[in-house]
Amino acid sequence: MTSRAERIAALKQAAKERILILDGSWGVMIQKKGLDEADYRGQRFKDHPVQLKGDNDILCLTRPDIIAELHDAYYAAGADISETNTFSATSIGQGEYEAQGAVRDINFEGAKIAREVADRWTAKEPHKPRFVAGSIGPLPVMLSMSSDVNDPGARKVTFDQVYDAYKEQVKALHEGGVDLFLVETITDTLNCKAAIKAIMDLEDEGYEPLPIWISGTITDRSGRTLSGQTVEAFWNSIKHAKPFAVGLNCALGAELMRPHIAELSRIADTLVSAYPNAGLPNAMGEYDETPDQTGHALHDWAKDGIVNILGGCCGTTPDHIRHVADEVKGVKPRPVPERPTALRLAGLEPFELAS
């Protein structure tokens, strides 16, 4: 495949034929490398005024070899799609490390690294093309909730500031060569709407439109996002983007996430994705669910016809992804339902008025 249009067509065709596999956790794999401050600084940031250790996104610039190695490991494990290492690569996210000036380069180089590895795998295994999702993570600030318990209207940022931060990120990801955008780990739907608008507005500037994949986060057993929405209300809020896929990731393991994925599968007239954590964290903040356990749990989801894309979030490794890929091989993807036309709105709860 020589053009992005051909890759997007191949992605959509593959989604009709099989359950697609996303990669797993990046944080846990980077942590295993035992990197020190010098790895994060490299030459470019050797005199940076604040500590950079922990800013995993900046490794796209200072240790691109490690980032390429991790993409390679996930593709080798059976992933069809790997995410760019750009989860917090916005001016707002990088502001915590005083690295706002590196945002464009992080995203562009992150996409470029992933693109090169994906193309190498596709050339080696043309029957199983590999794709790159531009990772667009949450922000440390929220538009839907007050930043001051004594002032319900207080916000640390405006919608325009959030939009501008995402716009800078998505432009660089697009220019770096991603096949689709993945707006993920969404805790605040209004932040997500700013990201969606930033992506959709790229077309007005002459950028080729790319598929949008949206993945929310149910924060606890309440079945709601951090900004208070139910799964159906969340879907009603973002369905105008006509996403390639919608799903849930993070916060929960497979057991607790399943009922919410089943609900999304019922109401979403697009592909449904899920990439849960490797169970819940233990007292040490580590994840104990084995690759075999994760694989078996997600096999049941696939067998029951409620998913189209599966992968892993916190605590998962290439071995987890290998087990998931093996467990769902040959299982048919969920058929996308046709829903009757209706007026569907949302606040914290969904509202539907049949036509």
Which residue positions form the known binding site?
250, 313-314
Is the CB of residue 273 less than 8 Å from the CB of residue 247? Answer: yes
Binding-site sequence positions for Zn(2+): 250, 313-314
The phi and psi torsions of 98 (rounded to 5 degrees) equal 55, 40
Element (H, E) at 214: strand 212-216
How far apart, in whole angstroms, are the C-alpha atoms of residue 132 and residue 24?
A: 13
Residues in CB range of 86: below 8 A, 6 or more apart: 57, 60, 106, 107, 110, 111, 134, 135, 136, 137, 169, 173
Residue 225: left (phi > 0), alpha (psi -120 to 50), or beta? beta
How far apart, in whole angstroms, are the C-alpha atoms of residue 261 and residue 283?
A: 27
- With CA atoms as reference, report the closest residue to 263 among 250, 248, 245, 281: 248
Beta bridge partners of 212: 181
> Which runs of consecutive H residues, i.e. helices, occur in the chain?
4-17, 27-32, 37-41, 59-62, 64-76, 91-94, 103-124, 159-176, 189-201, 231-238, 254-267, 291-303, 318-328
Coil, helix or strand for 241? helix
- With CA atoms as reference, report the closest residue to 290 among 251, 324, 262: 324
